[in-house]
Structure formats: structure tokens, C-alpha cells
Amino acid sequence: MTASFLLQPSLILIAGGIFLPFLPMRARNFALLTLPLLALYFIWQLPDGISLKAKFAGYELAITKADALSRLFATIFAIMAFAGAMFALNQERTAELAAAFIYAGSAIGVTFAGDLITVFVFWELMAIGSTLVLVSAGRGAYGSALRYAAIHFFGGVLLMAGIAGEIAATGSIAFNKMALDSFPRVLILAGFLLNAGAPPLSAWLPDAYPESSWSGMVFLSAFTTKTAVYVLLRGFPGTELLIYVGLFMVFYGIIYAILENDMRRILAYSIVNQVGFMVTGIGIGSEIALNGAAAHAFTHIIYKALLLMSAGSVLYMTGKRKCTDLGGLFRTMPLTAICGIIGALSISSFPLTSGFVSKSMISDGAASAQLAFVWFMLAAASAGVFLHAGIKFPWFVFFQKDSGLRPSEPPLNMKLAMIFFAFLCIAIGIWPEPLYALLPFKVNYVPYTASHVVFYLQLLLFSGLAFFLMLGWLKRTMTITLDTDWFWRGGGRRFMKRLDIAAGDAWNRLEKWSRDRARDFARLLRTHHGPAGLLSRSTPTGAMAFWTTVMLAAYLILSQF
């Protein structure tokens, strides 16, 4: 058992998550902080190649298979679990943290899964863990959690069907690069993309995540979508379709975030936007683009968690989420504001932040592959990121107007978690070499050239100018924007109403039918048992003889069996 703990670090977090609810508070908090670090240690002890095998249904599973790519993702997942746990120490609902650890652990499990069956097992475990994180936010989240679970188990069905078809067709369960040339592979890709927040079902993400608790969304933002990026990097690099899927996601995220009022929904849309950059990079498929996608996943987890910690702190201290209710919080929450701004600058890939050293690799990948359309779209999207998240989030939450709210800073552990990630955002931005050394391909990329820096500064600062000039149009209103989830929420309800009318009709008919039958039966009884009925005549002897004969005949028949 110890050996398998060593050889599958995900089990440290999964087992830890299962035992968490049984620990007293202090031991719980100790476990929360140490288990992710322990997992991180064992992640770095794993040798390259397959180190843990098992037999299952006649197949040899490669439960643990490590290489640079899996190590990169497992590393950031473990760091994320650590910082998320630090941020969430005040979370009284241990169930949420237990679920978050099972969730984080299974995400690490996916990154080390060497075959499709193991991928699927951890994939589904992740869906269960994340659903439980949502459910533990309380009654208000039940509806979203149910929809979230339904969509993800549907994704699981697609993936399972695809894997079964793939195994039937090739006889191999190995999880390697696949060409998109058979129906089962299309299903596998669809299952992966569903978790990435790709169209047409992307609405699950902004529907579900913002309903989680102040700490829950910090965990949720990191694992599901980035595990999807990992499996796409491993399974479908260079699949051209992904370029267009990714570009769609990039602009979908921007447009919907521009229209959004809820600060956590803004950040949820921007997850789709950022994952879109990664998916586009995977679609381009050159070494620099794949490196860029992998690096961007790494940096994205950090700054997105930082943004959500900042938003989570505001939610924790004020209980409010809507831009229309917030504003002016920089007065009493300066640290939360500064950390939020650092996260916002990083997501906008400002020079000297982590986003700059990763996202510009993807753009360069498009340029060196001579994909003009893709490059121009990515440049426009980079400006758009600053617009929809980079300025919008800090502006409407911390500045804008004076909402009159005077919340104090969050507790120490939450501040420390934010400072830790804010530090990483800037450290990676200034000194990207250690991150580059972790990437799957050798890096010959220099992010800080004068041309690059000036170009990005122009792009971002002028998008800032556009933001402030159009501020009147960007003013938040108490609205939401309809998305594809309308079909399974509003549309569904409307459908049910129709169904109700139809069902009502059917019920009325059924009622009438049964009433008529009951009346007929009563009439029948009356005919035979009524005052003039055959069976109620007062001539007992004859009747008795008759019925005895009937009974004897029945016995005779029954005894034949």
C-alpha cells in the first residue's frame, strides 16, 4: 500500500480527503496544509515512464506513467491544492474541503494515467468530487449542482462510449496522440472538450461555479478545465478543429463577461476565455504553441485562483457578488485590491507578470505558423481580456463608485494565500526560466524583446483607454445574459409546462375512464348481488351444492400441476 502511495501521488489527496471529516479541527487544518506538499514531493520522486501497473478485465493498466507534461500539470495541481487549502482554512464545512481534495487528487490522477481506462476512472472521480464541492455550498447551489452533474455525467458517457469504441477498433487502451479519424475518437474529443468549457455546452461553467462557496470556486476554477487542457495536449495536439473551437471560446468569454454583472460570473466567463487561448494553442500544434498552451495552463491556474481568492475575500467579508452592489472597497481592503489587481494584470498578460511569458508564446506560435487570421484574432482577444477582466473586475469591485461598504481585510490565512499567489504571478513574470524548464519541449523563446513589450503595452493600454471612454456603455445593470443553458433551464421549464397541459389532459381522461369503469362495476354488482341478483337469492342448499362443485373442480385442476 505504501508503495502505491509513492507511485500514485493522487492517492495521498484522495485518501486524505476521505479521512478529513473525521479529524478534529486542528488536525484537519494540519492535514490540509501538509498533504498537498507531501503529494508534490512524491510527484517529483516519480521516474519517467510507467511505474505502476495493474491488470483489469484482461488489460494491463498503466496507472502511473510520468513524463514532463504530466509532471508539469501535477505540480501546479498540487501547488493549487496547497494554496487553496490555505485560503480555505476558515471554511467550516469540512465536507467541501474533503470533496475538494478528492477532486484535486483525481485531477493529479488523470495527469499520471497512462491508459484510457485509468483516465476515465479518475475523470469520473473528478466529476463526483467537484459536484460535491458545489453541493456543500448549501441549498442555493443545489439546482446548479444538479445541472452540473447531469452535464458532466453526459460528458462521461460520451467519453466512455468513445473509449469503448477506440478499444474495440484498435485493441489498445494506450492513451497517446490520436488523429481525429474515427467516430470513437470524435466522441473522446467531445468528452474532453465538454470539460474544457467548449461550445455548445459551455454554459455549465458560468452556471455552476459562481454558486459555490467563497472558497469552493477557487478550487473549481483550477482542475476540471485544466485537466481537459492536459488530455487535449496529450491526445489531440495539432488537431486543426481545436483552433476554431478555441477562438470561439476566447470571444464567447469576452462578450459574455462584458455583459455580466456578477463578479464571480465575470471570472467564470474569463475561465472559458483563457482556456480558449490554450485550446487554440493545442490546435496550432507546433512545439512553441504546445509549450505556450502548457505554460499558460500553469500560469492561468495561479492568477485565476488569485482573482477568485480576491473575489472570494470580498464575498466572505461582504456577502455580495454583484458589481451593482459593490465598489469603492479599496479604502478598507487595500491588500485584497492589490492582489486582485496583480491577478488582473497577469490574466491580461501585462509585461512582468506570469501571463505575459506564457500567452505570448501561443501568439508567436500562430505567427511562426503563418496563421494570419488566428494571430489577429488572438491579438484582438488579448486586448479584450484586459477589457473584460483586467480592468473590469478590479474597477467595478474596488473602485467605480462608493458603495458605502467598509469591510475589513479577510483573515490572515486568506491574506497569506493571496500574497503567495501574487508573488508567484510576478516571480514567474520576471524570471520565467524555471517554468520554461518544466515544459514538454525545449524552449528557445525570449519573451522580453523590445518589440514584444512595446506591442503588448500599446495593445493593453489602449484597450484600457477604450474601457474608460466607453464606461457609460459598460455600466452594469441588474441583468443576466441568456446562454445555451436556457435550453435546459428556461426552455426546459417551458417544455415541462407544455408537458403539464398534455399530462393534465391525459389525467382527466384517465379519471373519467376509471369513474365510468367503477360505475359499470357497481352496476354489475347490483345485478348479481342486489335484491334481485342471481347470487343473493335465498335458496342456500342449491347454491351451496353449486359452489362446492366449483371448488372441487378447481382443486382437481390445481392438483394436476
Partner 1 sequence: MKDRRKDHWLVRKDTIRKLWWLFGAILAATVAADFFVYHKAYFGIDGTFGFGAWFGFLACVLMVLFAKGLGVFLKRRDTYYDR
**Chain contacts with partner 1 (rule: CB under 8 A):** 251, 254-256, 258-259, 261-262, 322, 328, 330-331, 367-368, 370, 372, 375-376, 379-380, 382-384, 387, 399, 402, 450-451, 454-467, 470, 473-474, 477-483, 489-490
Q: Helix 94-112 and helix 216-235: axis angle, to 10°?
A: 10
Q: How far is the CB of 454 from partner 1 (least distance, A)?
A: 5
Query: Nearer Cβ to partner 1, position 175 or 277?
Result: 277
Q: How far is the CB of 457 from partner 1 (least distance, A)?
A: 5
328's torsion region: left (phi>0), alpha (psi -120 to 50) or beta?
Answer: left
Query: Nearer Cβ to partner 1, position 94 or 481?
Result: 481
| Residue pair 122/113 in contact by the 8 Å Cβ criterion | yes
Q: How far is the CB of 107 from partner 1 (least distance, A)?
A: 30
Q: How far is the CB of 103 from partner 1 (least distance, A)?
A: 26
| Residue pair 400/330 in contact by the 8 Å Cβ criterion | no
Query: Nearer Cβ to partner 1, position 331 or 529?
Result: 331
Q: How far is the CB of 331 from partner 1 (least distance, A)?
A: 5
Query: Who contacts 497 (Cβ-Cβ below 8 Å, separation ≥6)?
Result: none
Query: Nearer Cβ to partner 1, position 90 or 403?
Result: 403
Q: How far is the CB of 351 from partner 1 (least distance, A)?
A: 11
Report residue 17: phi and psi, to 5°: -60, -40
Q: How far is the CB of 399 from partner 1 (least distance, A)?
A: 8
Per-position b or e across 188-216, b if 16+ CB within 10 A of its CB: bbbbbbbbbbbeebbbbbbbbbbbbbbbb
Query: Nearer Cβ to partner 1, position 225 or 261?
Result: 261
What's the CA gap between 351 and 256, in Å, rounded? 26
Among 194, 198, 208, CA closest to 147 = 208
Q: Enter the DSSP assignment of 238.
A: T
Q: Enter the DSSP assignment of 197.
A: T
Q: How far is the CB of 397 from partner 1 (least distance, A)?
A: 15
Q: How far is the CB of 392 from partner 1 (least distance, A)?
A: 11
Q: How far is the CB of 380 from partner 1 (least distance, A)?
A: 4
Query: Nearer Cβ to partner 1, position 318 or 413?
Result: 318
Query: Nearer Cβ to partner 1, position 372 or 525?
Result: 372
Query: Nearer Cβ to partner 1, position 47 or 404?
Result: 404
| Residue pair 216/99 in contact by the 8 Å Cβ criterion | no
Quickly list H helices, 44-141.
Answer: 68-87, 94-112, 116-135
Q: How far is the CB of 383 from partner 1 (least distance, A)?
A: 4
Using CA atoms, how far residue 128 sits from 103, 105, 160, 427, in Å, is: 8, 12, 16, 35
Query: Nearer Cβ to partner 1, position 461 or 551?
Result: 461
Query: Nearer Cβ to partner 1, position 98 or 387?
Result: 387
Q: How far is the CB of 62 from partner 1 (least distance, A)?
A: 41
104, three cell numbers: 484535486
Q: How far is the CB of 405 from partner 1 (least distance, A)?
A: 14
What's the CA gap between 36 and 102, in Å, rounded? 11
Query: Who contacts 263 (Cβ-Cβ below 8 Å, separation ≥6)?
Result: 311, 314, 321, 322, 323, 326, 393, 396, 397
H-run or E-run covering 64: strand 59-66
What 3 state SS string does 202-213 have? CCHHHHHHHHCC
Query: Nearer Cβ to partner 1, position 96 or 364?
Result: 364
H-run or E-run covering 54: strand 49-56
Other C-beta atoms lying within 10 Å of the C-beta of residue 273: 25
What's the CA gap between 113 and 159, in Å, rounded? 15
Query: Nearer Cβ to partner 1, position 115 or 483?
Result: 483
Report residue 54: phi and psi, to 5°: -155, 155
- 56 bridge partner residues: 59
Query: Nearer Cβ to partner 1, position 30 or 376?
Result: 376
Instruction: State the residue for C-alpha cell 510520468.
Output: 66
| Residue pair 410/316 in contact by the 8 Å Cβ criterion | yes
